[in-house]
Structure 1
Amino acid sequence: MVIRRGLYALGALVVTAGCSAGGQAPEHRDARRPSGSCVSTVSRDALPTWARAGFSDDGSGVPHVFGERGDILAVLFEYPPKASSDPDDGTKILWVSRLPQQPMRPLTIEARLDGTATSVTREITGGAGPSSVDLPKAGCWRLTLNWSGHTDAMTLTFV
């Protein structure tokens, strides 16, 4: 009886949280992670409607990661992403912004390898859109993304 009540309360909390996040899964709105934790929540669910341009269907099955604020989405055309020190051998990622963009403003990616002093900056000309991202080492990368006056962050694990 006590367990059942707890499950009902948990279910109500999940439904309430889902509704308050504007129909978006709560972990995509504000997924704060403890320091030293590398969690890259890769989804293969349908893409949100704002991220489906160019897809012939709802994008189900395509691996993607939401930014912590839910303002940007990384569609991973190569999964898992592969580290490479060769700038011509980057991982193909489609960046989709939920927020309006200013034409020709770049997407700047500040990437830090978790647990190290290694950091790199990459710039995607033209802002969110198709890209080839090369990160030099395998591991958990913390990405801070800046575009058109917006900021979001995510973690991606490169192999």
Structure 2
Amino acid sequence: MLGDRGDIVAILWAEHDPLVVPPAQDRNNKILWVGRVASEGSLQIKAHLIGSDRSVTRTVDGGPGPSIIDLPDAGCWSLDLTWGKQHDHLQLEYAPS
């Protein structure tokens, strides 16, 4: 998934319904974050479940890179991503498991 500004890519590590809630017993919700520009600092994720008032935050220490991002509910999540001076946005779908 390419960010709206094109400054970050989320590479999902599964073939079909890769992100699930609750997390699957036999695999993780793996995302490799790749920023266009290298930057110092952690990747801050502010996630909002579209159509609800549900919001959570997640952090990827060290900035864009490998991560496991579990979210609390199935549905389409809007993610505001900030790392260093960079900012981008994308949407990810989490399916019920």
| TM-score, with length taken from structure 1 | 0.54
Structure 2: 5+ residue stretches without partners: none
Where 1:153 maps in the other structure, the secondary structure is strand
- 1:120 alignment partner AA: V
How many Å separate the matches in 2 of 1:113 and 1:85? 17
Name which of 4, 27, 35 aligns with 1:97.
Answer: 35
RMSD of equivalent CA atoms: 1.7
Distance 1:93 1:99, change over 3 A: same
Tell which structure's C-alpha radius of gyration is larger: 1
Q: Which deviates the most, 74-83 or 143-152?
A: 74-83
User: By percentage of residues, which structure has more strand?
Assistant: 2
Name the % identity: 43
Report the number of matched residues: 91
Q: Does residue 8 of structure 2 align to residue 72 of structure 1?
A: yes
Distance 1:120 1:93, change over 3 A: same
Structure 1: 5+ residue stretches without partners: 1-64
The 5 Å alignment of 1:79-158 reads: 79-80=16-17, 81-84=19-22, 90-102=28-40, 105-158=41-94
User: By percentage of residues, which structure has more helix?
Assistant: 1
- Cα deviation 1:30-49 (Å, max 9, x = unaligned): xxxxxxxxxxxxxxxxxxxx
- 1:100 alignment partner AA: A
